Amino acid sequence: MYKLKAQVEELAAAIRRRWNERPLAGIILGTGLGSLTDGIDVEATIDYEDLPHIPSSTALSHKGRLVCGRLGSVPVLVMEGRFHVYEGYSLETITLPVRVMKALGAGILVVSNASGGMNPFYKSGDIMLMEDHINLMWQNPLTGHNDPNLGKRFPDMSSPYDESLLEAATRIARREGIVCHRGVYAAMTGPNYETRSEYRFLRKIGADVVGMSTVPEAIVASQVGLRVLALSTVTNICLPDNLGSVGKYDVIHAAQAAEPRLRLIVREVLNEQLPLAAS
């Protein structure tokens, strides 16, 4: 982390030159959920290739740009395309945008992802609010030298996902008639999907869904003091005794179908939690 503070400052300055607004929330969009930006009043877009220290996003359906503007009344900075361990990036690189969002003034981080559902009560297209996670990536973005200017050495992870945001999202989903669960996300490195035995193991240790992202970002968000709301779209059902094959386009199509409901929840939560944004 010796160079990390300088990278955060350089990247934040590069964004400010293109969009000199304070984002009250940062949003990271997962697979198939890029159209969430259709609901944003866009003020600037910045391709990753035009920014320092940001790699290209190689994941399918990830456009690779920052979208800056307003979702409802709330100024937001949106990553339209995230980075993954399976692309070969370090966790320090993957989580750099989270640190930059904090440096630019954000107080809330919203993260979305696509996941495989292992809870037998979940169906494809359902939304699960992450209330906890299990890190099975066998890596942590906080290992190595710690710069106290960037956050605590030993951040508390007893409540990585903000309870007031969870309650607001649950209430809004219920009001709008959206199927929305609360559960536990297991993070794997990917890029392969899991075996039958791995699904059985994950379910046995308490996971409701499994995916390949989000947890590194949530860990860094806890370190820097961001309130986190994470929403997982269940794109395929992973019951080991009735397991069918799944392809990347199946995941993308299921996530895209759920996107309008996800967008509604995120917009309403942010406008409820940040009521002074319009003033």
Distances (CA, A) of 187 to 117, 152, 207: 13, 23, 9
**For residue 74, what is the enclosing H or E element?**
strand 74-80
Output the CA angle 247-181-212, nearest 5 degrees.
40
Please tell me the distance from the alpha carbon of residue 144 to that of residue 4, in angstroms, as a whole number.
12
Per-residue confidence of the chain (279 residues) as pLDDT tens digits?
A: 568 999 999 999 999 999 999 999 999 998 756 677 888 999 999 999 999 999 876 555 447 899 999 998 899 999 998 899 999 999 999 999 999 999 999 999 999 999 999 999 999 999 999 999 999 999 999 999 889 989 999 999 999 999 999 999 999 999 999 999 999 999 999 999 999 999 999 999 999 999 999 999 999 999 999 999 999 999 889 988 877 666 566 677 777 788 889 999 999 999 999 875 544
User: How distant is the alpha carbon of residue 58 from its chain centre?
Assistant: 17
Instruction: Report pLDDT for 48.
Output: 94
**94 exposure class (CB count in 10 Å sphere: 0-12, 13-18, 19+):** buried
Instruction: Report pLDDT for 137.
Output: 97
What phi and psi values does residue 40 have, to the nearest 5 degrees?
Answer: -100, 135
Please tell me the distance from the alpha carbon of residue 166 to that of residue 231, in angstroms, as a whole number.
10
Instruction: Report pLDDT for 194.
Output: 93
Please tell me the distance from the alpha carbon of residue 134 to that of residue 29, in angstroms, as a whole number.
20
| Residues recorded for the chain | 279
Instruction: Report pLDDT for 242.
Output: 78
DSSP string, 142-198: T-S---GGG--SS---SS-S-HHHHHHHHHHHHHHT--EEEEEEEE---SSPPPHHH
Instruction: Report pLDDT for 1.
Output: 56
Please tell me the distance from the alpha carbon of residue 149 to that of residue 171, in angstroms, as a whole number.
37
If you ran DSSP here, which 8-state letter would residue 19 be given? -
Instruction: Report pLDDT for 278.
Output: 45
Instruction: Pull the structure tokens for residue 78.
Output: 């949106």
Instruction: Pull the structure tokens for residue 233.
Output: 């779209």
Distances (CA, A) of 240 to 115, 212, 245: 15, 19, 11
Please tell me the distance from the alpha carbon of residue 52 to that of residue 260, in angstroms, as a whole number.
32
Say if strands 65-71 and 25-28 run parallel, antiparallel, or are unpaired.
unpaired
Question: Which among 154, 166, 164 has a CA at the least distance from the CA of 222?
Answer: 154
Please tell me the distance from the alpha carbon of residue 98 to that of residue 13, in angstroms, as a whole number.
15
Say if strands 127-135 and 108-117 run parallel, antiparallel, or are unpaired.
unpaired
CA dihedral 169, 224, 187, 38 (to 10 degrees): 50
Instruction: Report pLDDT for 279.
Output: 45
Query: Domain segments of the chain: what residues?
Result: 4-273
Instruction: Pull the structure tokens for residue 29.
Output: 């969009």
Helix (H, G, I), strand (E, B) or coil at 1: coil
CATH number of 4-273: 3.40.50.1580
Q: How many CB atoms lie within 10 A of CB 197?
A: 9
- Note whether 227 and 162 are within 8 A (CB): yes
Instruction: Report pLDDT for 58.
Output: 59
